[in-house]
Every structure is written in C-alpha cells, then in structure tokens.
C-alpha cells in the first residue's frame, strides 16, 4: 500500500477513535458499597448513566469497569487515584485532605450547625458552583466534583451514663482528627482511633467511649461495649464527594457530560436519603439490642456549645496564613444555612472578628 494512502487512512481513523460511541470508564472507591457514599455510585451512577443516554437518544454508551472495597486503591489515596486517572470517577474523601483541600473541611471546624445532611449537601453543591476557591481545590488535583457527600450527625457512645457535660470530665473519648476539638471545654480527653479500632479500644479500657456517627457505630457493634448512647447532635458533616478526572471529562461529548452533571446531584440526594434511613435503622436496632438511649438536654447541650473555644476562628487563621480564603467560605456556609431558614446555635462566622 502506498505511503500516502496510509497517511490518509490514519488521518481518517484518528477522529473516529476520538469520537467513539463507546467510552470505557472505571468507577472506583476504597471502601465497601455498604457505605452510602460508595454504594450509590454502584447502584445509581453506573447503571443510570447508560439508561439516561439511551432515553435521551444519544449515540454514546459507557462500558464500565468497577473496582470498590480497596481493590484498586486504599482510603488514603482517594484524591490521587482520581487525579492520575487510576479511576475515572469515584468518591474522594476531602476530610482526609486537610493540606490539599483545607476549605472543604469547614464543617468539621463549625460543629452544632445542622443534623440535616440533605440540607448540608445542598449547601455544598451550591457553594461549589458559586465559589471559585472551592472549585479550584478540585481543579488543582485534575478533577471536578460532581456531587457532595457527607455523614450523619455525631453522638456519644460510652461505658457510663451521660446526663450532662460534667460527666465527661477526665473521661477518655475516642475522637480522631478534627472531631477532637469538639471535646475542648468538656474536660474529656480526646483519644485517636478509627471505626475498625473503636470496639477493641473501648473493650480493653483504652477509651471510655466514642464520639461518632451511628451509621458507622452500629455495623461495628460498638454499642455492645459502650451501651450508653447519648444523642448530642454535633451536626452532619460534608466529607467529600463524587469526582471525575478532568482529562476524562474533557474527552466526553456534551450529552455524556450533561448526564454525569445530573447524576452528581442525584448522587447527593440519594446518598442523603440512604444515610437518613440507615441512621433510623441503626438507632432502632441499638435500642433493641439493649443500648440505653437518651438525649442530652438543651440546657446541657448549650453548655457544651458555649464551652467550646473559637474552633472556626483558629481554622480561619491557619488557612488564611496559607493563602486560602477561609473566612469567606465560613461566612458563605453559615449564610447559606441562614438563607434556608436555619438558626445556628453558635454564630461561628461572628467569632474572632475585630
């Protein structure tokens, strides 16, 4: 075959490959699909993508490869896995990225705002649309956040009854990472740990209890060693989101991008609904298993809130020293909550001001 004909054929093939009807994508996550923020990828995002493309009359389709439960990468690599394209789309835990994504950790530095996870995720999807600094955190890591994710509100599970803040004095409470600051002012001693270590740490006396989410505590049977469940309602938390590799995004046709944008918002809504249902089931099951469930009185909850130092102010100062507009993000978060009819129990954005 003449060389000129080969060149012509190659030129014809390149655009055909670039605009192929079938796209091969990998969905990945480091944890089990039993967790809502992972499971919704498998149950909604993956199957619905092709259904919606077909319904819309699109000529495009996706062949999926799915890798969950840490089979492709571990929990500490969620950001990097999407960044380098190890997975095209997956869940990213921004809560572990305090250095690379400090602004995404605002809620962990402003507790006692709301227990409504659906509301929280709606706020953060909106903030990521309206605040360039929040989007830039993802862009800098070569990805786009499609939909926010989060966890249910935090409560206490202890080996002793808690009727007031004074009962925590001198007690060792498991509260890893930023949640340790939520114990400041209570007299409790924060102890590091994780969901997979809490049971043993409490059973062996390393800790007297834990500050955690019920949807995580119940599967690990933590109520068996810490049967006093005190509903404190420290607030639901934004913990990251469904993200797509930017290089992958840019090679997708507009109609496929549109489907993923829609599914990103549906991911958040479905995930919030599943978390709420799992929360109710966990609380009911714990009580049925013999856990002693009580609710901290508003008076004692007020003591806890008022006794906290200016956590948000410290976070703002530290982030702004590094050049991040933390105060603007904090104010936008609090104002978005107020705009939706919420009344903060503490005006974190008003603290630390001249």
Q: Are residues 86 and 60 in the same domain?
A: yes
Q: Are residues 70 and 18 in the same domain?
A: yes
Residue 17's pLDDT band, with cuts at 50, 70 and 90, is very low
Return the percent helix, strand and coil in the chain, to nearest 5: 50, 15, 30
Tell me which residue range forms the domain holding 338: 154-235+283-349
Q: Are residues 184 and 169 in the same domain?
A: yes
Q: Are residues 67 and 198 in the same domain?
A: no
Residue 111 lies in a domain: no
CATH number of domain containing 181: 3.40.190.170
Q: Are residues 203 and 69 in the same domain?
A: no
Contact (Cβ atoms closer than 8 angstroms) between residue 238 and residue 23: no
Q: Are residues 204 and 185 in the same domain?
A: yes
Boundary residue ending a domain (223, 252, 279): 279
Residue 80 lies in a domain: yes
Residue 196's pLDDT band, with cuts at 50, 70 and 90, is confident
Q: Can you list the alpha helix ranges (DSSP code H) found in the chain?
A: 3-18, 36-40, 46-55, 78-83, 117-130, 132-139, 195-203, 214-217, 246-251, 254-288, 298-307, 311-321, 326-339
* Mean pLDDT of the region 225-233: 98
Q: Model confidence over 274-315: pLDDT tens digits? A: 999 999 999 999 999 999 999 999 999 999 999 999 999 999
- Answer yes or no: is pLDDT of 12 > 50: no
Instruction: In whole angstroms, give the CA distance from residue 73 to residue 279.
Output: 28
pLDDT, position 118: 97
Residue 52 lies in a domain: yes
Residue 113 lies in a domain: no
pLDDT, position 352: 55
Q: Are residues 50 and 174 in the same domain?
A: no
Quote the percentage of the chain above a pLDDT of 90. Answer: 87
Residue 288 lies in a domain: yes
pLDDT, position 55: 96
- Answer yes or no: is pLDDT of 5 > 90: no
| pTM: predicted TM-score of the whole model, two decimal places | 0.89
- Answer yes or no: is pLDDT of 16 > 60: no
The number of distinct structural domains making up the chain is 2
What is the average pLDDT value for the chain, to the nearest integer?
92
- Answer yes or no: is pLDDT of 182 > 50: yes
Q: Are residues 158 and 172 in the same domain?
A: yes
pLDDT, position 353: 53
Task: Report the b/e string of 121-133 with b at 16+ CB within 10 A.
Answer: bbbbbebbeebee
User: Could you give phi then psi for residue 155, rounded to 5 degrees?
Assistant: -135, 175
pLDDT, position 21: 87
**For 72-76, 86-90, 124-128, 231-235, which range has the lowest pLDDT when averaged over its residues?**
72-76
Residue 112 lies in a domain: no
Q: Are residues 187 and 146 in the same domain?
A: no
Residue 96's pLDDT band, with cuts at 50, 70 and 90, is confident
pLDDT, position 195: 84
**Dihedral, 229, 231, 235, 241 alpha carbons, nearest 10:** 40
Q: Are residues 36 and 91 in the same domain?
A: yes
Q: Are residues 244 and 138 in the same domain?
A: yes
Residue 110 lies in a domain: no
Residue 70 lies in a domain: yes
Quote the percentage of the chain above a pLDDT of 70. Answer: 93
pLDDT, position 177: 84
Q: Name beta bridge partners: 238.
A: 150
Boundary residue ending a domain (279, 307, 336): 279
pLDDT, position 151: 95
Q: Are residues 328 and 210 in the same domain?
A: yes
User: Could you give phi then psi for residue 103, rounded to 5 degrees?
Assistant: -65, -30
């Amino acid at each position: 075959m003449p060389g000129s004909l080969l060149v012509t054929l190659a030129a014809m093939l390149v655009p055909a490959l670039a605009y192929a009807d079938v796209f091969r994508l990998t969905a990945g996550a480091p944890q089990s699909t039993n967790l809502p923020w992972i499971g919704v990828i498998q149950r909604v995002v993956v199957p619905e993508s092709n259904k919606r493309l077909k319904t819309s009359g699109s000529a495009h389709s996706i062949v999926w490869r799915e890798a969950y439960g840490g089979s492709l990468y571990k929990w500490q690599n969620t950001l990097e896995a999407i960044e380098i394209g190890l997975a095209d789309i997956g869940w990213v835990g921004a809560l572990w990225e305090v250095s690379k994504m400090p602004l995404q950790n605002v809620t962990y530095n402003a507790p006692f705002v709301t227990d409504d996870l659906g509301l929280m995720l709606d706020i953060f999807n909106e903030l990521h649309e309206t605040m360039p600094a929040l989007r830039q955190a993802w862009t800098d890591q070569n990805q786009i956040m499609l939909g926010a994710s989060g966890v249910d509100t935090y409560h206490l599970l202890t080996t002793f009854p808690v009727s007031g803040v004074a009962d925590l004095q001198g007690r060792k409470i498991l509260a890893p990472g930023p949640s340790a600051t939520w114990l400041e002012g209570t007299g409790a001693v924060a102890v590091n740990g994780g969901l997979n270590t809490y049971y043993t740490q409490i059973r062996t006396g390393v800790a007297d209890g834990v500050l955690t989410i019920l949807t995580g505590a119940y599967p690990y049977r933590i109520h068996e060693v810490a049967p006093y469940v005190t509903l404190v309602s420290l607030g639901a938390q934004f913990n990251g989101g469904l993200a797509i590799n930017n290089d992958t995004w840019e090679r997708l046709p507009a109609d496929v991008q549109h489907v993923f944008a829609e599914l990103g918002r549906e991911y958040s809504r479905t995930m919030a609904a599943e978390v709420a249902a799992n929360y109710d089931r966990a609380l009911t099951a714990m009580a049925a298993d013999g856990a002693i469930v009580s609710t901290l009185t508003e008076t004692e909850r007020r003591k806890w809130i008022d006794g906290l130092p200016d956590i948000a102010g410290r976070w703002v100062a530290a982030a702004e020293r590094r050049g991040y507009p933390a105060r603007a993000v904090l104010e936008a978060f609090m104002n978005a909550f107020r705009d939706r009819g919420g009344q903060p129990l503490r005006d974190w954005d008003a603290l630390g001001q001249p």
